[in-house]
Amino acid sequence: MPRKKVITDRRERIIQAADSLFKHYGVEKTTMEDISREAGIPRATIYLEFPNGKGDILMASIENYLGNLLGQMRDMARQSKVGRLETLKQIILYNIMTNYDRTSIFQYDPANLDRYAKRAREEITSYFQDRGELYTELFQQASLQGEISTEYDFTRLAELVSQAQRAFIPPIIYTLNRDKVERDANAVFTLLMAGISKNRQASAI
């Protein structure tokens, strides 16, 4: 049991070291030698954990990030004291801005991830599925609370909201500064939720 913990800790040290380097130098400029030096772990040992080198480490970093992000969104849904539509809007905005910050700091974009295409798609697709289920749940709860009609196809609503969210995926949004991205995202999803709501309070913008 202690050995398993040591191995887990070693793996996390490698990921954390790589994350620190990715933030400062970008993914493309970071080398395995850099990661080895930052983590204080020999390159040969790193390859035992991550046989394909930097690509595997990057995927593990993304997996950790997406898992933590999904956990945070679920916590927001559980702890929120406002209506379900407002909760969903807050979660979407949190998702957009967290992704904006992560991607701008780490200096990678979807084009770079094509180099690790298959595994990247698997990780991201799994995350999108889980996120879609969370959105669907929130729409179902909103209908039970009388915020929206029970006649909606909640899965379809979740898909449409996710499609709208894609307009704010980096690097597209790098043509805008952070404050404008946040304002625009808030305006778009306030309008969307107002259109879905039974009360149709579009004046909330």
- Per the structure, how many domains does the chain have? 2
Query: What's the mean per-residue pLDDT of the chain?
Result: 86
Amino acid of residue 59: M
CB of 176 within 8 A of CB of 189? Answer: no
**126 and 75 in one domain?**
yes
**125 and 25 in one domain?**
no
Domain containing 15 — which CATH number?
1.10.10.60
User: From the CB of residue 203, how many other CB atoms can be counted at a distance below 10 Å?
Assistant: 6
pLDDT at site 168:
87
**103 and 159 in one domain?**
yes
- The predicted model scores a pTM of 0.82
Which bin fits 172, alpha (ψ -120 to 50), beta or left (φ > 0)? Answer: alpha
Range of the domain at 20: 1-51
Domain containing 136 — which CATH number?
1.10.357.10
Report the SS3 class of residue 149. coil
Report the SS3 class of residue 181. helix
For CA atoms 26, 60, 65, 175, give the dihedral sign: positive
pLDDT at 37 exceeding the cut of 80: yes
**129 and 84 in one domain?**
yes
Per-residue pLDDT of 144-167, as tens digits, reads 999 999 999 999 999 999 999 988
Least confident range from 20-29, 50-59, 133-142, 170-179: namely 170-179
pLDDT at 48 exceeding the cut of 80: yes
